[in-house]
Amino acid sequence: MSSDMQVFRLPDLGEGLTEAELVNWLVAVGDEIKVDQPIAEVETAKSMVEVPSPYAGTVAELHGEAGQTLDVGKPLISIARSGAAPAPETPSSAEDAVSTGIVASPEVDAAAEAYRTEEKAGSGNVLIGYGTPGGVAGGRTRPRKTSLAVVDRETEARAEAPVASEPAVAGTRIPGKLSAVISPLVRKMARDHGVSLETIQGSGASGLIMRRDVEAAISTPEAPEAPAGPVSVPVAEGDLDSRTGLAVSARTPVRGVRKAVAANMAKSRTEIPEATVWVDVDATALLEMRAELKKRAPHDTPGLLAFIARFVTAGLKRYPALNTRFEIREDGSQEIVGFDGINLGFAAQTDRGLVVPSVRNAHQLSARELDAEIRRLTSVAREGKATPTELGSGTFTLNNYGVFGVDGSAAIINYPEVAMLGVGRIIDRPWVVNGELAVRKVTELTLAFDHRVCDGETAAGFLRYVADAIENPGGALADM
């Protein structure tokens, strides 16, 4: 391969992931790109991420198509070094310009200047833990140009004549004289809000799409799209299932998050000798305490899950065996790995499947801080933007399946953790209080645990601790 060609291989996206599905290319062959410019969107078993380029130059080849699964370390994109091919000289006169088929465009100059102004506000995302250091100032400088040029269409139409390459503004091609030039910031804003740039008429010079144009498109209501989900493969006519004799209606590939969940759950069931304990809990006092706090601070009151999370972290400090990992070493020996801290995972249902983001160092956070972090992680997880670290670093999982309207569940432990606490819905039930029958707000707590790391006494002690804290939240919080 020519020394002027740089091959960028799919990088290690973190957490031991070995493959990723190519969702979408953000560049095309012939594009001029710069260092740290996002070149592709890929979906791993953990999240959707943008992959930035470590090289600047001209895109020579894209190694893969949308929907294809690529292995880490395999070629992703080939980039010709900037300046590898001799660039046509800038015409010194109008006559020279006509002879070469290139004309200067003051409108595109204006577009470039507007682009520079627009980009001062920021740039696109860079893959977490990857890319060049130093931020914008460190490796995103743009070569200064006194003018830009576009290909004369008459010259382009000549079959035998060589076609002059199109110039670029910060890696965004200009396919014609008056095409939109879009900054990474504007492109990111459009992607985040599901706005198609092809449908926007730019208000800037030369049709440049500005931030205000995207904001206007965001504020304009559109027909709701169907939620993202597994895409079924077309089924051939006459496809019959050999076991049932029924016609096959759909075949859905198992990949991405669903593939990871399936593998993780199967491994959990295969390797972990799981046991389960449960208890009904009177949550009336907790609900009353939260209602009282909400009266005082309507917009700054933690949710119920945040309070329960606070009780869980306190319980894990008392029963640390449930905040461990059971490991089998290469030599066959076994050990239980304990942690100096708690990363509290919580199950979040998304359009892409069930994921478990984790609140790092949750034991150091108050209920209010836990609430803020749970909300933030839920949001990024549902947008598919949670990082591999956020999705793969938990030490214990809290699962609020009550939001689905169920009371209990025989939960599967989130491998390689050793325990999971499930919380059912809170409903009115008859309950004996001080010898009198009353209607109380009751929920069911279910703890699934790895019997290799502890016995039932430890599991029951932890579960009872959390239950007592829910029934007497004021006293529990005072002691934490």
Q: Which residues are catalytic?
A: 451
Distance CA 269, CA 160 (A): 66
Torsion of CA 270, 272, 275, 277, to 10 degrees: -110
Give the H/E segment covering residue 430: strand 427-433
Nearest-5° Cα angle at 295, 293 to 299:
80
Cβ proximity of 77 and 90 under 8 Å: no
Q: In 10 A of CB 364, how many CB atoms?
A: 12
Cβ atoms < 10 Å from Cβ of 82:
16
Asked whether the CA dihedral 447, 449, 453, 455 is positive or negative, the reply is positive
Rounded Cα gap, residues 171 and 53, in angstroms: 12
CB 465 within 8 A of CB 475: no
Of the candidates 108, 109, 4, 11, the residue with the CA atom closest to the CA atom of residue 57: 4
DSSP state of 237: T
Shortest CA distance to 17 belongs to which of 250, 263, 307, 193? Answer: 263
Question: DSSP labels for 74-106?
Answer: SEEEEEEETTSSPPPPPPSSHHHHHHHTEEE-H
Tracing tokens 């496809």 back to the chain, one arrives at 239
* CB 471, CB 281: distance < 8 Å: yes
Write phi, then psi, for 112 (nearest 5 degrees): -65, -40
Rg (CA), the chain: 29
